[in-house]
Amino acid sequence: MKPNEPSRTALTIARQRAAHQLLDRGSILCDPFAMKILHEDEKDVLQFSNAHPLAAIGRLFTAARSRIAEDALSRAVERGVRQIVILGAGLDTFALRNPHSALEIRIYEVDHPATQAWKRERLAEAQIALPPWLSLVPVDFERDNVAQKLVAAGLQQNSPAFFTWLGVVPYLTQNAIGRTLDTMSSIHNSEVVFDYMEPPEASSQELRQFEKERTEQLEKMDERSVSRFEPARMRAILRSHGFCAIEDIGYEEIVSRFGRAVQGLAPGHLGLHVVHARPLSFS
């Protein structure tokens, strides 16, 4: 992404969440703020969602990974976790929909300064106030020390934290991914849900062509998808950074969880994964 401009991929994800409300009636994840924060006409969102015959894959996977993360987050809150960190938040609306507000949880949204400034503008246009339990933490994942930024914002390193890290890993270098995993594992009883992609060979020819076109579009926007992983390699990386309890959720498990709601997820797109991981210190 360009240094002083918000992430274009964050806008794409926000449009996918809004399209899920319009086309799928929020069957996987109900989000009453998705259209409000996007601040676009329904016809424009629908035009975007129908721009490519395979666009449903992105829309449904975006909804499914958020639902998986939020279900795991709710279980963590039940266990007593009171710190939530949303890495690469973009226009995420969980803090606005927060079902745990009575439990005094703290939510930290971490993203690039330009993207966060853009989010503030969108919220102001929609006349939505920042909730008191939310802190926006500006971070450049490739350059900044995420742990230092979070501690400066009030995160308690000796208390459990739940991280969501959705739609970010493919766009980071492996060094940045490793540093961020170290940040998470350094926090007592932390856990994370994130997604990653396998190399293109895992997908059908049609989907490889779709991905090629998407990559070309990203390059025009100065954004690149640079990191892909085989599942065994991802497990090895997680273990090397202190994570041992690893649940890797692929296409078949997503279909098993959501059934007809994700029938637009093509079987050939086996390269999409959602991971729920916890470190050795978890108890």
Q: Which residue has the higher pLDDT, 232 or 6?
A: 232
pLDDT recorded at residue 212: 63
**Is residue 2 included in any domain, yes or no?**
no
Total-model pTM: 0.89
**Is residue 190 included in any domain, yes or no?**
yes
Q: Which residue has the higher pLDDT, 176 or 215?
A: 176
pLDDT recorded at residue 269: 57
Cα 67 from Cα 274, distance rounded (Å) = 11
**Is residue 90 included in any domain, yes or no?**
yes
Pairing, β 272-279 against β 243-249: antiparallel
Q: Which helix (H) or strand (E) holds 191?
A: strand 191-197
- List pLDDT tens digits, range 114-140: 999 999 999 999 999 999 999 999 998
For the cut 80, the answer to whether the pLDDT of residue 205 exceeds it is no
User: What domain range includes position 143?
Assistant: 8-279
For the cut 90, the answer to whether the pLDDT of residue 248 exceeds it is yes
State the average pLDDT for the chain.
Answer: 88
Query: Are 203 and 217 spatial neighbours (Cβ–Cβ below 8 Å)?
Result: no
Percent pLDDT > 70 in the chain is 85
Domain with residue 114: its CATH number is 3.40.50.150
Q: How many residues does the chain have?
A: 283
- List pLDDT tens digits, range 57-105: 888 899 999 999 999 999 999 999 999 999 999 999 999 999 999 999 9
**Is residue 1 included in any domain, yes or no?**
no
Local confidence band at 188 (pLDDT 50, 70, 90 cut-offs): confident
Of 244, 262, 242, residue with least CA distance to 252: 262
pLDDT recorded at residue 225: 63
- List pLDDT tens digits, range 37-62: 999 999 999 998 887 767 788 888 99
Local confidence band at 180 (pLDDT 50, 70, 90 cut-offs): very high
**Is residue 45 included in any domain, yes or no?**
yes
